[in-house]
């Protein structure tokens, strides 16, 4: 996945394809490619690296007036020339670009290999062009071949297809991955996101799930999921290019906060069969799981907070002891780890210097290493015994949001899997899996509190300090909430176990001090509430984040999370504290996406 453009018209297609892709560059990518078509052949250029690398391969004047383009953010197969899109069939007569994830691609690939197909890339996307070829050869009608192909695809896709058999036509299909269409007097366009089209038209047609479209130089036709023609529904796009790149939000941070439902959905895709957890990379490890005596979770910053959460969940579900350590400490503490130790590394970028050094140390000591990483093919991913990928997509804002919640979700799934491998039955697993699957909707519901959060966050505008408190699983949320607030709003924030307040920090609470209190864990709730009341008694203004059941009449500023399993409540709580940090920073006029002194990827010690 990442950026798609397509053009068919009365003038050369290449300028549109390239400028459209450049308008999608903000999304991040690792390779780029285009296919241009004339009546005799399809020509494809593709390369690892930036669009500028692709441009070096292209001749200046290319007259073809129909073509498709792609920028890829690797999800299956490392960034490479081979894995870059477009992908072609063997004869080079059909070319496809794809955004999304084909969940059942291994099955489809095996079936196609059995009937004589050859594959040249590690991508899930290549099965699409081979499947199209298969159906087209059975009956040479591309519209029907496309309908048959998408019927076999499980997962998400935005597809754009050119073929030598219809040199001025582009076929398009969409499910759970965005695709927009447009037209002007120059021709007809498609793209994975509106910014690519806005220099040409503001009349945009967002394709709906299950729909397909056929574009030619004079216009376009749209079809429903059964292939029946439907009336195209254009909208006048309300944003300029810059705000469209941020999805209409005023910052990437806010956009990425709102992308969490889909990021979580993608991360969970294909992970369950009934109550069985499907993590092939873990299953393939040749390990006697009962010889694992120690588990250590290791990461930096926000990812380290995800590890603190995972450490508690691991002990609860497996009944085994585990540890958690910042990578910057682990690498220097001469840890007592060996071949009976499972080390789990967590990193969005996969390049954090301390985490990488800790991984190398763990390997040198013979540990089993598993990483949870967002960037495919990154150093940490490559050097671990097994890697699990979060599917957060590129995270552009420096402050991590969707990467964090997808880490929480994937770590949870990994721990359920480990319990199964240890032969331990996790109590209530059916309900847990049900709620994991509901998380995208539950996060949507949480985001609906936006206006309330904004109002409450306003009280941080003139504050120098704030305190986050919580117990048990609310503690990592308190740490992460405080980190987010510090990073983007520069309000000094500390996090404490609520029960620890009376051992010192309560000395800091005075009239109007802002306390963000997290009380979502039923088994400790009454104790947490008592701790919170201790701060109220000293004049604190408490923003209480709690569940649906908590009696909270005495509190003025209350936000409730949707009802769900307590072990998963950390996810909506993260979303709310991210919003608090965002709105506090906005009130203060901070540069939200690029906080001072911080870099997105910390590749030096
Ligand atoms: C905070 C943040 C950082 C990162 C940390 C680790 O919002 O983004 O604390 O979490 O630098 O980075 P990764 O996850 O790339 O290893």
Indicate which CATH number applies to the domain containing 309: 3.40.50.10490
Ligand 1 center to 286 CA (angstroms):
31
Statement: residue 1 has pLDDT above 60: no
Pocket test for ligand 1, best of 400, 401, 582 (most atoms within 8 A of CB): 400
Tokens standing for 204? 């945009």
Determine the Cα–Cα distance for residues 527 and 197; give it in Å rounded to an integer. Answer: 55
In a domain, 602, yes or no: no
Nearest to residue 295, comparing CAs of 279, 281, 314? 314
- Residue where a domain stops, chosen among 446, 477, 493: 446
Determine the Cα–Cα distance for residues 542 and 208; give it in Å rounded to an integer. Answer: 43
Same domain for 407 and 261: yes
Contacts of 157 (CB under 8 A, 6+ apart): 98, 99, 100, 102, 128, 150, 173, 174, 175, 176, 177
Same domain for 301 and 241: no
Ligand 1 center to 302 CA (angstroms):
5
Q: Point out which residues pair with 341 in neighbouring strands.
A: 294
Over the stretch 314-338, which tens digit does the pLDDT of each residue have?
999 999 999 999 999 999 999 999 9
Residue 116: left if φ>0, alpha if ψ -120 to 50, beta else—which one?
left
Same domain for 277 and 226: no
Determine the Cα–Cα distance for residues 109 and 26; give it in Å rounded to an integer. Answer: 32
Measured from the Cα of 404, ligand 1's closest atom is 10
Average pLDDT, rounded, for the chain: 94
Q: What is the mean pLDDT of residues 167-179?
A: 93
Determine the Cα–Cα distance for residues 23 and 237; give it in Å rounded to an integer. Answer: 16
Give the N- to C-terminal CA distance of the chain in Å, as an integer: 31
Measured from the Cα of 299, ligand 1's closest atom is 16
What residue's CA is closest to ligand 1, atom 3? 301
What residue's CA is closest to ligand 1, atom 11? 301
In a domain, 18, yes or no: yes
Same domain for 334 and 236: no
In a domain, 595, yes or no: no
Q: Point out which residues pair with 295 in neighbouring strands.
A: 322, 342
Same domain for 153 and 74: yes
CB contact at 8 A, 32 and 70:
yes
Q: What is the mean pLDDT of residues 151-162?
A: 95
Ligand 1 center to 104 CA (angstroms):
32
Over the stretch 254-295, which tens digit does the pLDDT of each residue have?
999 999 999 999 999 999 999 999 999 999 999 999 999 999
The pLDDT score that the predictor gives to residue 27 is 75
Statement: residue 475 has pLDDT above 90: yes
Residue with the two structure tokens 């588990």: 295
In a domain, 420, yes or no: yes
Pocket test for ligand 1, best of 348, 389, 402, 585 (most atoms within 8 A of CB): 348
Same domain for 407 and 515: no
Over the stretch 102-115, which tens digit does the pLDDT of each residue have?
999 999 999 999 99
For the four alpha carbons of 559, 562, 564 and 568, in that order, the dihedral sign comes to negative
Same domain for 482 and 418: no
Q: How confident is the model at residue 605 (pLDDT cuts 50, 70, 90)?
A: low
Residue ranges making up the domain that contains 490: 448-588
- Residue where a domain stops, chosen among 245, 271, 292: 245
Top-confidence residue, 522 or 27:
522
Q: How confident is the model at residue 471 (pLDDT cuts 50, 70, 90)?
A: very high
Indicate which CATH number applies to the domain containing 223: 3.60.20.10
Ligand 1 center to 358 CA (angstroms):
15
Same domain for 496 and 401: no
- For residue 210, cis peptide bond before it (omega within 30 degrees of 0): no
Show the ligand 1 pocket: residues with CB < 6 angstroms: 300-303, 347-349, 352, 355, 399-400, 487, 601-602
Q: What is the mean pLDDT of residues 38-57?
A: 92
In a domain, 208, yes or no: yes
- Residue where a domain stops, chosen among 397, 423, 446: 446
Q: How confident is the model at residue 602 (pLDDT cuts 50, 70, 90)?
A: confident
In a domain, 213, yes or no: yes
Determine the Cα–Cα distance for residues 1 and 125; give it in Å rounded to an integer. Answer: 9
Q: How confident is the model at residue 596 (pLDDT cuts 50, 70, 90)?
A: confident
Same domain for 262 and 199: no
Determine the Cα–Cα distance for residues 355 and 330; give it in Å rounded to an integer. Answer: 9
Same domain for 371 and 462: no
Kindly list the catalytic residues. Answer: 2, 600
Tokens standing for 194? 């509106």
The pLDDT score that the predictor gives to residue 386 is 97
Length of the chain: 605
How many domains does the chain contain in total?
Answer: 3
The pLDDT score that the predictor gives to residue 240 is 79
Measured from the Cα of 300, ligand 1's closest atom is 6
CB contact at 8 A, 297 and 344:
yes
In a domain, 161, yes or no: yes
In a domain, 597, yes or no: no
Same domain for 382 and 300: yes
The pLDDT score that the predictor gives to residue 12 is 95
Same domain for 413 and 457: no
What residue's CA is closest to ligand 1, atom 7? 399
Ligand 1 center to 300 CA (angstroms):
6
Q: What is the mean pLDDT of residues 413-436?
A: 97
Over the stretch 234-254, which tens digit does the pLDDT of each residue have?
988 877 777 778 888 999 999
Q: What is the mean pLDDT of residues 380-390?
A: 95
Predicted TM-score of the model (pTM): 0.83
- H or E segment and range at residue 252: helix 252-258
């Amino acid at each position: 996945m990442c950026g798609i453009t397509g053009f068919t018209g009365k003038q050369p297609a290449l300028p549109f394809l390239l400028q459209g892709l450049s308008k999608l560059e903000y999304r991040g990518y690792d390779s780029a490619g285009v296919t241009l078509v004339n009546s005799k052949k399809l020509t494809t250029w593709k390369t690892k690296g930036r669009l500028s690398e692709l441009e070096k391969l292209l001749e200046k004047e290319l007259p073809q007036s129909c073509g498709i383009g792609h920028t890829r953010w690797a999800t299956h197969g490392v960034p490479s020339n081979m894995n870059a899109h477009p992908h072609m069939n063997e004869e080079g007569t059909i070319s496809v670009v794809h955004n999304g994830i084909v969940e059942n691609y291994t099955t489809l690939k095996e079936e196609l290999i059995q009937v004589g197909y050859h594959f040249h890339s590690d991508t899930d996307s290549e099965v699409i062009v081979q499947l199209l070829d298969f159906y087209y050869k059975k009956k040479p009608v591309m519209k029907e071949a496309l309908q048959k192909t998408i019927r076999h695809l499980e997962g998400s896709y935005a597809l754009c297809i050119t073929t030598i058999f219809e040199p001025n036509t582009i076929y398009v299909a969409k499910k759970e991955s965005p695709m927009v269409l447009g037209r002007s007097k120059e021709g007809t366009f498609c793209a994975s996101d509106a910014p690519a089209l806005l220099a040409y038209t503001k009349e945009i047609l967002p394709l709906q799930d299950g729909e397909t479209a056929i574009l030619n130089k004079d216009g376009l036709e749209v079809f429903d999921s059964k292939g029946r023609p439907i009336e195209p529904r254009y909208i006048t796009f309300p944003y300029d290019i810059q705000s469209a790149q941020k999805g209409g939000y005023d910052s990437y941070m806010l956009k990425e906060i709102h992308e969490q439902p889909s990021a979580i959905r993608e991360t969970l895709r294909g992970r369950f069969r009934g109550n069985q957890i499907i993590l092939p990379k873990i299953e393939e490890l040749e390990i006697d799981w009962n010889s694992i005596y120690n588990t250590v979770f290791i990461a930096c910053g926000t990812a380290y907070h995800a590890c603190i959460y995972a450490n508690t969940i691991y002990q609860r579900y497996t009944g085994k002891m585990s540890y958690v350590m910042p990578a910057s400490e682990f690498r220097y503490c001469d840890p007592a780890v060996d071949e009976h130790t499972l080390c789990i590394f967590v990193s969005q970028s996969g390049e954090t210097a301390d985490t990488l050094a800790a991984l190398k140390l763990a390997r040198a000591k013979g540990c089993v290493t598993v990483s949870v990483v967002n960037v495919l093919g990154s150093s940490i991913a490559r050097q671990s015994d097994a890697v699990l990928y979060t599917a957060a997509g590129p995270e552009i804002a420096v402050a991590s949001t969707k990467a964090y919640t997808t880490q929480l979700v994937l770590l949870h799934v990994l721990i359920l899997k480990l319990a199964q491998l240890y032969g331990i039955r996790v109590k209530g697993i059916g309900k847990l899996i049900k709620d994991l699957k509901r998380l995208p909707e539950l996060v949507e519901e949480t985001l609906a509190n936006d206006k309330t959060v904004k109002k409450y966050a306003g009280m941080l505008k003139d504050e120098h300090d704030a305190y986050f408190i919580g117990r048990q699983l609310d503690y990592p949320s308190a740490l992460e909430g405080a980190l987010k607030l510090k990073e983007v709003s520069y309000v000094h924030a500390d996090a404490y176990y609520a029960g620890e307040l009376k051992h010192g920090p309560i000395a800091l609470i005075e009239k109007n001090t802002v306390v963000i209190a997290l009380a979502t864990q039923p088994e400790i709730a009454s104790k947490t509430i008592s701790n919170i009341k201790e701060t109220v008694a000293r004049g604190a203004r408490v923003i209480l984040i709690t569940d649906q059941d908590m009696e909270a009449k005495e509190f003025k500023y209350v936000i409730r999370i949707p009802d769900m399993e307590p072990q998963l409540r950390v996810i909506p709580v993260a979303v709310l504290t991210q919003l608090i940090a965002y709105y506090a920073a906005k009130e203060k006029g901070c540069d939200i996406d690029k906080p001072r002194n911080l870099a997105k990827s910390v590749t030096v010690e």
